[in-house]
Structure 1
Amino acid sequence: MGRDRGFTLIELIMVIVLLAIVATISVRFVALSTQGAIDVGSRQLRSFSAVVISEQITRSLREALPGSVRVSADGACIEWMPVQAVSNYLNLPSGPNPDSFEAVPLAGGASASGRIVVYGYGSNLYSITSPGPVSPTATLPAGTPPVTVAFDGGVNHRFTAKSPERKFFVIQEPRTFCQQGSFLFRFRNYGIQSSVAALLPTSVPEREVLAGNLVPASLNFEVVPPTLQRNAVVSFRFQVQSQQSGEVTDVSQEVQVRNVP
């Protein structure tokens, strides 16, 4: 008869140990792969959020009236006046009580309402006086040329300077981007104030949340004034942080503000 063969206790223990090692390596490999996928997804999400924030700020500032961009002392807030329409005037308000002037209508039969700005370079656009570069609210109507731009309520206003190209801007009320804590807010409908971030609204719809997950106090704006060789430049930087891993993505961007008199 043949001799019976089987596993010894030592062989069985060795097999169990080897299986445990293989299982540990496999679990660790799967865990690292899963964590890597999560980290990649988190980085992609932060990068996408950073792109959206940068694009929101960039698009808004490109519509800014030249000379209207200003930054708070700590660099956390930036304010500007959005341009709604641009046209050419035929004459500026004249006479003892000027309340209107003639202008070229907008293309496509469009109309626009807002404050009128004529050659605001070198002036404080946030000081509303007459004479001055910024008028009270007015309406640029549609129609055949010439059209009459009238100040609302029959208010009188004189402009301090003429544009070399007889150009005027129709602007909206100021807007502000400002970081508060980990959120980026956009403020509007708070009127023209003498200083940046003064009397900002505290509730919707005048205060809108544009982004979250910013590293507190990381947003910083800087404005480089225009020269004869280049336009004004707004540079800004901020940091986006992952709530899960705590990782931080640094972002910096520059925006050119077109300076057309």
Structure 2
Amino acid sequence: MNKIFSRQQLGFSLIEAIIVILITGILAVVAANFINRPIQQYLDVERRAALSDGAHSAIRRMSRDLHLALPNSVRQSDANCVEFLMTKDGGRYRSAPPGDVLTFENASSTQFDVIGPLRAAPQAGDFIVVYNLGIAGANAYEASYRGVVAAASTTSIQLGSAIQNPLESPANRFFVLSGTAPAVSFVCDGANTDAQGNGTGRLYRISNYPISPTSCADLVTYPNAPVLVDNVASCSFNYANGVVERSGVLSIRLTTKTAHESVTIYQDVNINNVP
């Protein structure tokens, strides 16, 4: 009896291979969509966090500096900048004997005692300011309203010349300013948005410069000023002051933008204007 043997074919057909490739492609596309969305969300959150952190850091630095501002010294030339005089120290002067008294009949005396020691002795050339009101005749931006330290300790100050026509402080307060670089400016420059959705401006902190009659330092003069934050799309400062209210408020609005993602921070900084 003859036996018939059949050979079983192994492998797969071309049609089967194409079907497997199609199914694998479909699964890959579905998987990519599931993976891509969380990754994109993570990148968006990371970008927003970086923008928010940069803007908040800049405003915190501004707030910290402004809390050291000489009362009634904050001023503006426009909404893109704000300037003030930063104090080094302050205290109370002796207004009645015994001891060296700071008097204000015609011009201030040149030697006076400090009631309660200062944190550090003022340096020769530092400025002493009493009762700054930020108005004509009582304005620390005027050279005649600033006394210049000739010699000092933490308990006694000698001026090189008397302060001209000052007003006496009701609380007998005085403030110490750096004699070489008491002014500070915050300046926004180039704030806008480019075609890629990135902010093109920067917020600068300009310091270590002498007092000037004009408001705010010029970036052309100080091109190497440190940058507080990049990618600024819009920026504005609005200062509302008033001696009667004994305080001022600086409103800061700052928008940073990257790849069409933006963060806007609004902050009011209270400034003590009690002279």
TM-score by length of 1: 0.81
**Preserved contact between residue 116 and residue 138 of structure 1 (Cα < 8 Å):** no
| 1:190 corresponding residue in structure 2 | 209
Within-5 A mapping of 1:222-237: 222-226=238-242, 228=244, 231-237=247-253
- Of 238, 244, 253, the residue aligned with 2:267 is 253
1:158 and 2:175 correspond: no
| 1:170 corresponding residue in structure 2 | 176
Q: Deviations over 1:205-244 (max 9, x none)?
A: xx222222212xx2211111136556211111111122xx
- Of 88, 112, 120, the residue aligned with 2:132 is 120
Q: 1:232 to 1:37 in 2, by over 3 A?
A: same
- Of 186, 189, 209, the residue aligned with 1:180 is 189
| 1:202 corresponding residue in structure 2 | 222
- Of 82, 89, 94, the residue aligned with 2:93 is 89
| Corresponding residue SS for 2:209 | coil
| 2:42 corresponding residue in structure 1 | 37
Tell me, in whole angstroms, the C-alpha distance in 2 between the residues paired with 1:76 and 1:221.
6
1:214 and 2:218 correspond: no
- Tell me how large the CA RMSD over aligned residues is: 2.8
1:55 and 2:64 correspond: no
Tell me, in whole angstroms, the C-alpha distance in 2 between the residues paired with 1:199 and 1:11.
74
| Corresponding residue SS for 1:185 | strand
TM-score by length of 2: 0.77
Q: Deviations over 1:168-194 (max 9, x none)?
A: 111231111112222222212332112
| Corresponding residue SS for 1:123 | coil
**Preserved contact between residue 87 and residue 103 of structure 1 (Cα < 8 Å):** no
**Preserved contact between residue 91 and residue 175 of structure 2 (Cα < 8 Å):** yes
- Of 256, 272, 275, the residue aligned with 1:240 is 256
- Of 60, 69, 79, the residue aligned with 1:64 is 69
Letter in 2 for 1:231: S
Please, which runs of 5 or more residues in structure 1 have no aligned partner? none
Larger CA Rg, structure 1 vs 2? 2
Tell me, in whole angstroms, the C-alpha distance in 2 between the residues paired with 1:203 and 1:38.
34
Task: Report sequence identity in percent.
Answer: 28
Of stretches 172-181 and 97-106 in structure 1, the one that deviates more from structure 2 is: 97-106
Q: 1:198 to 1:22 in 2, by over 3 A?
A: closer
